[in-house]
Amino acid sequence: MITNSAPKLISLFAGCGGLDRGFIDAGFQTIYANDFDTAAQAVYRLNLGEIDGRDILTVDEDEIPDGDILSAGFPCQPFSNAGDRKGVYDSRGMLYKECIRIIEKKMPKVIVFENVKGLLSTKYIDGRKLPEVIVEDLSNIGGTGYSIVYEMLNASDYGVPQNRHRVFFVGIRKDLGKTFVFPEKMPKTEMLTLNHVLCMPDGLPNQVHWEFSPQAMSMVEQISEGGSWKDVPYDRLAPRFQRIRDDMVKYRSPNFYRRFARTEICGTITASAQPENCGITHPTENRRFTIREIARIQTFPDNFLFIDDSTKDIVAMYRVIGNAVPPLLAQRIAEAIFHQVFEDEPVCQ
């Protein structure tokens, strides 16, 4: 239940609202959210309320209200193993500096950054590792600075039915005299398997899926539950895949077209939703997971709605869900922050 005394969240690069949903469920209230992606904005407004859709570069710090905590899932594509890994040389890779600009003005009690694990090995333009730069920037900001910790988390260790590795930075303003401790891992149970996630009541919304291309379907039809492209006979592979099969060491034994079994925990739901690069294929049916199924794998509640009025909308929904922070993972972190920082601290009025 959210009250006037609930800690107030400033949410930058909020996406469709996965992180915000988790923080709200932990007792926080979002007082300002921003994202430039129109599809993400539409989903956010449908479920969580208003969001500023302007480019963050054009938003003046004074237009943002004071808050107790600031979160930012700045664009991960420049650091992603699935992308071209341009890092800070991609203009999106420097958008975290916009977070620094706003933090320096607002100086909330807590900050939370989330990104892909590729950020950990990214070099800054001066040769330092990017995490070291982020820690240094935040440690000295505003004259007070923050005590920063960061850790790579697997979402399945916190109740999310998905093996999804993401890096979280959590900083507590130094004058509060505290350092954040990440929550303990939870035991993995059968409840995390696809068998449980895909068991859902009839009549849920967004039970539509993005059709495979004919080329993808020709591969998927030959892959058994729990298998991958390695199930496909050599003479039925496209020439590109035959070249890779011929020299698996050179290509680092890729596991294309992974089809997770119902007894397994799903792999990472990605923004691209391409069967070649992620486990987006249903265990027993020759199709992608539906929008509702991937939303469940990401732990969005069944009453969290997505837009599926056209093929264009469907593709965009796979992207915004894949880019989101799983709400349950966000909730676990938010609960730890609340207990460690805000139980005995006054909040912004």
Which amino acids are annotated catalytic? 76
Q: In the β-sheet with 69-72, what is the strand arrangement from edge to edge?
A: 29-34, 8-12, 69-72, 110-116, 165-173, 146-154
Question: How far from the centroid of its chain's Cα atoms is residue 336's Cα?
Answer: 19
Q: Which of 11, 23, 10 is nearest to 326 (CA)?
A: 23
| φ, ψ (nearest 5 deg) of residue 244 | -70, -45
Contact predicate 321/273, CB 8 Å: no
Q: Which of 2, 7, 22, 8 is nearest to 114 (CA)?
A: 22
DSSP codes of every residue in 272-305:
S--TTTS--B-SSSSSBPPHHHHHHHTT--TT--
Cα(65)–Cα(333) distance, integer angstroms: 23
Question: What beta strand segments (E) does the chain contain?
Answer: 8-12, 29-34, 69-72, 110-116, 146-154, 165-173
Length of the chain: 349
Cα(34)–Cα(271) distance, integer angstroms: 19
Contact predicate 30/9, CB 8 Å: yes
Element (H, E) at 15: none
Cα(40)–Cα(323) distance, integer angstroms: 10
Q: Compute how many other C-beta atoms are within 10 angstroms of the C-beta atom of residue 107.
A: 19
Contact predicate 167/151, CB 8 Å: yes
| Helix/strand/coil for 246 | helix
Question: How far from the centroid of its chain's Cα atoms is residue 208's Cα?
Answer: 22
